[in-house]
Amino acid sequence: MPELAIDGGPEAAADLEVPEWPQVNESSRRYVEECLESGRWCRTTTDGDGFCDRLEAAFADYHDADHAIAVSNGTTAIELALRACGVQPGDEVIVPSYSFIASASAIPCVGAVPRFVDTDVETYNIDPDHLEEVITEKTVGIVGVHFAGYPMDMDRLLPIVEENDLFLIEDSAHAQGSEWRGEKIGTFGDFGTFSFQESKSLPSGEGGIVTTDDPVLADRARTMANIGRRQGETGYYFYYLASNRRLSELQAGLALGQLETLDEENRIREAREELLLEELESIDGIETKPRDDRITARGYCIENFRYDSAAFGGLSRDRFIEALRAEGVPVSDGYEMPLYRQPAFFRNEVGRFLPTGTEIPDYPNHHLPGAEEICETNVTYSHRLLLAEEEGIRAVGAAIRKIQDNVDELLE
Does this model's pTM top 0.85? My answer is yes
The CA angle 147-149-155, to the nearest 5 degrees, is 80
Give the Cα separation of 56 and 71 in Å (integer). 10
Q: Is the dihedral of CA 373, 375, 378, 384 positive or negative?
A: positive
Arch. (CATH architecture) of 26-260:
3-Layer(aba) Sandwich (3.40)
184, 200, 289, 402: the active-site residue: 200
Residue with more model confidence, 233 or 387: 387
Beta 67-71 vs 208-212: how paired, if at all? antiparallel
Residue-wise pLDDT for 143-185, tens only, equals 999 999 999 999 999 999 999 999 999 999 999 999 999 999 9
Residue-wise pLDDT for 9-64, tens only, equals 999 999 999 999 999 999 999 999 999 999 999 987 767 789 999 999 999 999 99
Cα distance from N-terminal residue to C-terminal residue, the chain: 14
Residue-wise pLDDT for 123-142, tens only, equals 999 999 999 999 999 999 99
Q: In sequence order, what DSSP letters do the residues of 127-138 get, joined into one string?
A: -HHHHGGG--TT
Residue-wise pLDDT for 198-229, tens only, equals 999 999 999 999 999 999 999 999 999 999 99
138 is a catalytic site residue: no
Give the Cα separation of 224 and 89 in Å (integer). 17
Give the Cα separation of 292 and 153 in Å (integer). 10
Lowest-pLDDT range, 208-217, 273-282, 348-357?
Answer: 348-357
Residue 1's pLDDT band, with cuts at 50, 70 and 90, is low
Contact 339, 98 (CB under 8 A): yes
Q: How far is CA 277 from CA 99, 187, 289, 373, 397, in A?
A: 23, 28, 9, 22, 9
Task: State the chain's mean pLDDT as an integer.
Answer: 97
**Which DSSP symbol is given to 345?**
G
Ramachandran sector of residue 98 (left: φ over 0; alpha: ψ -120 to 50; beta: rest): beta
Buried b (16+ CB within 10 A) or exposed e, 132-149: eebbeeebbbbbbbbbbb
